[in-house]
Structure 1
């Protein structure tokens, strides 16, 4: 049995997203006085959890860029959007929030293209849940707009930022599992 490029891409996306999510949660518990409501996610990239957070987001970004190269033949639009998401994520880790304005630019790229990346999946997904991926991406986009407008809906800035990130991590994990098992029209 041969492993195809899409299976490898799915595995890379899954590893990248899962390791980032888990290490982010660990960093939140290790950061003294951290509040998911009051603190920004990127606060984890400075101080006692900087190495853990920054390395995990850089690794995720790198794996997304590699996955983008592997999915190029399946969907160029998806490949470009997922590559931009990865570049944004790497930039967030390389330029922590103390480096203005680079951190903000890379964070916006990551947030925006993570959400947009969900849209091309509706055409390439064969899962019954394929309509859910763009819904989750849309939740991320709406949350991004609210976040930019400082409308936190009682969640605080950290809570609203997570409403951008968590839906996108969710669809990425689900879609990556599908990619790992993707078969082309010939059954390969």
Structure 2
């Protein structure tokens, strides 16, 4: 199995696995609102100095985002291995993977550690999607740029408190879903390219 195929499989399985696990965690969390709850509430929900950990949602969410981060870092290492290979993309992508692991290790009750971790995964995930355009042909390279820009522009709106009527949870999903969709699509693209 060549490096492109392993890279693609890690990215595809990691992205789809996290989407699936996040949805299962939402279903098992009583009263969870995708509009009003943050995604990280699934790991630990903290409001006004009080935190609630809802099981099994917490374990599912924290474990799945750590596994996603591990898959991203492993894929980044594989992409960076050839001496003549790309350097910017795997570096940005690896940083986003570290951020994902940190989100799982530092739930909401850790305060600023969690916020910094989420910012790292959001920011560097969007930048990695844009930087990946050099590794793809048309139209996938254009789709990657668009999804990366959606993630970054949604992050800017989220940080400035502009939720566009979606609520904080809905706006957060406008950051996360384009990045996850890019991960799944780019992973599938790399697997297909390895086979052609």
If the length of structure 1 is used for normalisation, what is the TM-score? 0.94
Check if 1:64 corresponds to 2:64. Answer: no
Q: Look up the match of 2:8.
A: 10
Q: Where does the alignment leave 5 or more consecutive residues of structure 2 unmatched? A: 45-52
Q: Look up the match of 1:122.
A: 133
In the alignment, which of 120, 134, 139 is matched to residue 150 of structure 2? 139
**Conserved 8 A contact 1:127-1:178:** no
Q: Distance in 1 between matches of 2:137 and 2:181?
A: 17
**Conserved 8 A contact 1:45-1:96:** yes
Q: Distance in 1 between matches of 2:130 and 2:183?
A: 12
Q: State the superposition RMSD in angstroms.
A: 1.3
Check if 1:162 corresponds to 2:173. Answer: yes
Check if 1:107 corresponds to 2:118. Answer: yes
Q: Look up the match of 2:102.
A: 91
Q: Look up the match of 2:31.
A: 33
- Residue 181 of structure 1 deviates from its aligned partner by 2.7
Q: Distance in 1 between matches of 2:141 and 2:59?
A: 36
In the alignment, which of 34, 50, 65 is matched to residue 58 of structure 2? 50
- Residue 178 of structure 1 deviates from its aligned partner by 1.2
Q: Look up the match of 2:48.
A: none
Q: Distance in 2 between matches of 1:21 and 1:106?
A: 19
If the length of structure 2 is used for normalisation, what is the TM-score? 0.90
**Conserved 8 A contact 1:61-1:87:** yes
Q: Look up the match of 2:21.
A: 23
Q: Distance in 1 between matches of 2:132 and 2:105?
A: 29
**Conserved 8 A contact 1:23-1:52:** yes
Q: Distance in 2 between matches of 1:41 and 1:58?
A: 14
Q: Where does the alignment leave 5 or more consecutive residues of structure 1 unmatched? A: none
Report the secondary structure of 1:120's partner residue: helix
- Residue 101 of structure 1 deviates from its aligned partner by 1.1
In the alignment, which of 176, 179, 186 is matched to residue 187 of structure 2? 176
